[in-house]
């Protein structure tokens, strides 16, 4: 049996859908269709909103968490690039015969017998 995969929705989208429904911008099924969700999910989100479990504060926390993850990825990438630049400056990425190595593809392949002839 294949594993189930669940979609996750941003708190902003949830709040937008709930506000649209509660403000009478359409019926339950129409709003759900507009946001690309099933109507029982909109009912669930509406109940959570009414209990105070879904609010603007959560949306801000989600945004902050997303930004922190993006920053961490960028910092890792910067670290990799700094190490590559340092190696290039030191000339560590060359073969013993002085031929440069590529960071991306590694050493160049040897010519085939066909190419040598």
Q: Where are the domains of the chain?
A: 9-54, 55-92
Q: How far out from the chain centre does Cα 82 lie? A: 23
List, in order, residues 6 or more apart from 63 with CB less than 8 Å away.
12
Please give the C-alpha separations between residue 28 and each of 31, 52, 66, 91, in angstroms, as whole numbers. Answer: 5, 20, 30, 65
Task: Count the alpha carbons within 13 Å of 99 in the hemisphere toward its beta carbon.
Answer: 6
Q: Report the DSSP beta bridge partners of residue 102.
A: 106
Please give the C-alpha separations between residue 31 and each of 10, 25, 26, 46, 82, in angstroms, as whole numbers. Answer: 16, 8, 6, 12, 49
- Per-residue pLDDT tens digits of the chain, which is 117 residues long: 666 777 888 888 999 999 999 999 999 999 999 999 999 999 999 999 998 888 888 778 888 888 999 999 999 999 999 988 888 787 765 666 666 666 555 555 666 666 555
């Amino acid at each position: 049996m294949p594993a189930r995969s669940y979609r996750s929705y941003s708190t902003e989208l949830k709040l937008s859908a709930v506000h649209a429904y509660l403000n009478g911008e359409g019926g339950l099924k129409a709003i759900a269709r507009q946001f690309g969700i099933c109507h029982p999910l909109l009912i669930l989100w509406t109940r959570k909103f009414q209990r105070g479990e879904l609010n603007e504060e959560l949306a801000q926390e989600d945004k902050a968490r997303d930004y922190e993850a993006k920053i961490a990825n960028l910092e890792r990438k910067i670290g990799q690039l700094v190490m590559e630049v340092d190696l290039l400056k030191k000339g560590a990425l060359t073969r013993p015969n002085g031929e440069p190595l590529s960071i991306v593809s590694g050493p160049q392949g040897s010519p085939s017998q066909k190419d040598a002839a």
